[in-house]
RNA sequence: GGGCCUGUAGCCUAGCCUGGAUAGGGCGAUAGCCUCCUAAGCUAUAGAUCGCGGGUUCGAAUCCCGCCAGGUCCGCCA
């Protein structure tokens, strides 16, 4: 069964199409959503007008007079060259609230489809804790995971684990050769923070000492050759780091289904297979033994169009293994999504071309995000200009705690304040990152990150808590059983319901367009309209019992949509705050 | 030098793919609203050459071309 607004749109479109056929206009109409007061759906006649050489205004009127009223179509009005459709408010109210009441936490979700999607995200080098520069990655990734699940897909999240690269090699060397006395003490009692010092010092030493540099190169070489002993050492080195990263992710409600080590593709020889096949490509060239694809004819320009996939000594490169990984992924899913920093754009393109040359069907859809920088320059571990994800989490929660304490210090217990500030702080953090489209640069400022008012998660959580407040006060009354929904007549009520009705469409748009941020905007809108309703339409003090019940039902529906929506963003919905 | 992304009020941002009706919001500012369901809220006011210049179109923030600024990449690194 369709959701109410989808059904309404269908009816209007069918009706409109029929009228166009009647008038013998061959034209595929496109419906728009106008601003509220103009109507619910709108058909602009301008394009059609230029085709048949008639004035848009005349066409609009011609069409409007022929549109029949239906279950949904209540009124048709023309303004200039527009045909504006008004849908029946009562039908929308009753069908939407019933739909929410029936589906509950399932409301908004689209029909299950038998399609598997693998979303690769985070995939950070396991040499230290996650920092804010890349913090968009897990948040965008996890939000996409949740959105695609809601859109009916079978979703698996994957972390591609670079266990044989330079970064892990440096860490491995550091842990094997440095004395923990010489490592600066971390302020966090977390395994990733404890390890990163070894990496940093080793990194520094390597630059001045050729011997060390050579030893590290050796580690890399050995792991590339698939030498198990070295890979085991590396595994031992990065595992605690990964554990720490995982812990941070868990705290912001992110779990990764599967970690895929890069070395797997060396061990199972699938990289060799990739090399063998690419060798046969007509774009393959050889430079002193190193093999490359010439990508000039694929629109790759710049100083160097050569995409090397082996070194002169025959060993493979990161990108080669990435190709093997993607071939493997493609066999296990119908759709692939990769969340990547914008620095991976070229590499991603190269892999895509290679996959095409290898006749691989499933080409990944990359979602690129711009880095988070700090006011005054780039983030850099060396210059101490780094803010870790853990720093950000701590600061957000701490600030949330202060807010909770000033507001509810007398009312809530210490434990409750702690619990709520965790929910609010984490929510604010995730929301702040997801509300902006990924490709936009973000300059990190504490004032912005810690602002809990306006377009921020606490605003939405607050609306949810308010709704819960009303419901809990009314619990003793019989409540929502068989409310007469026709008694909802106030504009604020209708405006809210109309927005609630859009939820499934928003999920559809967000998944089809890979746009997690529109969920955030939508929820802000709901919360905003709920606050207006809250102002205009009192529930508890309402004397008319039928109206009171109907409003209660609306409050409960709003609560459900807010909760479901926040869930998509990985944000908890507190019942009080 | 070349490729890709971004440029919307003091600050942040939606809309751009798929051109359409007065460019939506938020922060900050100013002025109001708690004997009434949580004021992390609500209402109002001020604030925009949609980076700049051309073009296409009945119509351009949106499409095309050129330029400017910022980010990012152009390793037999990962």
- The tens digit of pLDDT for each residue in A184-230 reads 999 899 999 999 999 999 999 998 899 999 999 999 999 988 899 99
* Rounded distance in angstroms from the CA atom of residue A549 to the C1' atom of nucleotide B23: 40
Cβ–Cβ < 8 Å for A90, A486 = yes
Quickly give A437 CA vs B16 C1' distance in Å.
Answer: 13
pLDDT at A374: 77
The two tokens of residue A52 are 């048949």
Find the Å distance, CA of residue A37 to C1' of nucleotide B49.
Answer: 30
User: How far is it, in rounded angstroms, from Cα A320 to Cα A531?
Assistant: 54
Are A78 and A35 a contacting pair, CB within 8 Å? Answer: no
- Report the C-alpha gap between A170 and A196 in whole angstroms: 10
Which tokens is A33 given? 């959503």
Residue A223: closest CA among A238, A208, A212? A238
> Which protein residue's Cα is closest to nucleotide B78 at C1'?
A165
Strand order in the sheet with A365-369: A258-261, A154-161, A116-120, A335-341, A365-369
Residue that is written with structure tokens 């720490």 in the block: A244
Positions of chain B reached by protein Cβ under 7 A: 1-7, 12-15, 17-18, 20-22, 25-28, 36-43, 58-59, 70-78
A379 compared with A282, residue with greater pLDDT: A282
| Residue whose CA is minimally distant from B73 C1' | A343
Q: What tokens were used for A172?
A: 């491995």
**Does A127 score more than 90 pLDDT?**
yes
Q: What is the arrangement of strands in the sheet containing A82-87, beginning at the earlier edge strand?
A: A41-44, A82-87, A73-79
Mean pLDDT of A22-28: 89
Q: Which residue is nearest to nucleotide B20 (CA to C1')?
A: A44
Prediction pTM value? 0.96
Q: Sorting pLDDT into bands at 50, 70 and 90, what band is A54?
A: confident
pLDDT tens per residue across span A303-340: 778 999 999 988 899 999 999 999 999 999 999 999 99
Q: What is the pLDDT of residue A377?
A: 59
Q: What is the pLDDT of residue A36?
A: 86
Residue A234 has pLDDT above 90, yes or no: yes
C1’ B65 / CA A302, Å: 22
CB A569 within 8 A of CB A430: yes
The residues near A352 (Cβ < 8 Å, ≥ 6 apart) are A363, A364
């Amino acid at each position: 069964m369709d959701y109410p607004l989808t059904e309404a749109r269908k009816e209007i479109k069918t009706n409109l199409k029929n009228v166009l056929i009647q008038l013998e206009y061959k034209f595929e109409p496109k419906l728009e959503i106008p601003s509220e007061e103009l109507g619910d759906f709108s058909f602009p006649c301008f394009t059609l007008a230029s085709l048949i050489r008639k004035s848009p205004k005349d066409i609009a009127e011609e069409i409007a007079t022929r549109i029949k009223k239906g279950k949904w179509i209540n009124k048709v009005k023309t303004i200039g060259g527009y045909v504006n459709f008004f849908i029946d408010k009562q039908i929308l109210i009753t069908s939407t609230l019933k739909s929410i009441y029936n589906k509950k936490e399932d409301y908004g979700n689209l029909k299950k489809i038998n399609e598997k999607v693998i979303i690769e995200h985070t995939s950070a080098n396991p040499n230290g804790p996650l920092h804010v520069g890349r913090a968009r990655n897990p948040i965008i990734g996890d939000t996409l995971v949740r959105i695609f699940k809601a859109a009916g897909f079978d979703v698996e999240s994957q972390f591609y684990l670079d266990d044989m690269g330079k970064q892990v090699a440096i860490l491995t060397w550091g842990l094997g050769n440095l004395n923990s006395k010489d490592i600066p003490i971390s302020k966090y009692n977390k395994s990733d923070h404890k390890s990163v010092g070894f990496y940093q010092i080793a990194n520094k030493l390597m630059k001045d000492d050729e011997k060390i540099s050579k030893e590290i190169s050796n580690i890399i070489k050995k792991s590339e050759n698939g030498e198990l002993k070295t890979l085991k050492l590396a595994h031992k080195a990065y595992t605690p780091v990964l554990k720490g990263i995982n812990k941070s992710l868990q705290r912001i409600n992110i779990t990764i289904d599967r970690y895929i080590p890069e070395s797997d593709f060396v061990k199972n020889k699938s990289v060799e297979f990739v090399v063998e096949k690419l060798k046969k490509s007509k774009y393959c060239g050889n430079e002193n033994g190193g093999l490359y694809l010439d990508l000039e004819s694929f629109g790759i320009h710049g100083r160097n169009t050569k995409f090397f996939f082996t070194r002169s000594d025959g060993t493979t490169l990161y990108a080669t293994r990435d190709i093997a990984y993607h071939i493997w992924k493609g066999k296990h899913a119908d759709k692939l999504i990769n969340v990547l920093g914008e620095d991976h754009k070229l590499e991603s393109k190269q892999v895509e071309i290679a996959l095409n040359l290898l006749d691989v069907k499933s080409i990944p859809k990359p979602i690129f995000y711009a880095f988070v920088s700090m006011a005054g320059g780039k983030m850099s571990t060396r210059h101490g200009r780094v803010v870790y994800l853990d720093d950000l989490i701590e600061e957000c929660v701490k600030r949330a705690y202060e807010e909770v304490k000033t507001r509810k210090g007398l009312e809530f217990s210490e434990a409750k304040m702690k619990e709520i500030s965790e929910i609010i702080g984490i929510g604010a953090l995730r929301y702040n990152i997801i509300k902006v489209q990924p490709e936009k640069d973000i300059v990190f400022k504490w004032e912005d990150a810690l602002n809990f008012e306006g377009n921020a998660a606490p605003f939405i959580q607050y609306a949810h808590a308010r709704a819960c407040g009303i419901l809990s006060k009314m619990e003793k009354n019989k409540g929502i059983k068989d409310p007469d929904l026709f008694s909802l007549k106030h504009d604020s009520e209708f405006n809210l319901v109309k927005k609630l009705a859009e939820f499934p469409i928003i999920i559809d748009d967000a998944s089809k367009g890979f746009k997690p941020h529109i969920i955030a905007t939508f929820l802000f809108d709901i919360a905003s309209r709920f606050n207006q309703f809250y102002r205009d339409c009192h529930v508890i003090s309402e004397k008319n019992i039928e109206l009171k019940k109907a409003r209660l039902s609306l409050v409960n529906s709003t609560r459900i949509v807010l909760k479901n929506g926040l869930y998509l963003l990985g944000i908890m919905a507190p019942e009080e705050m």
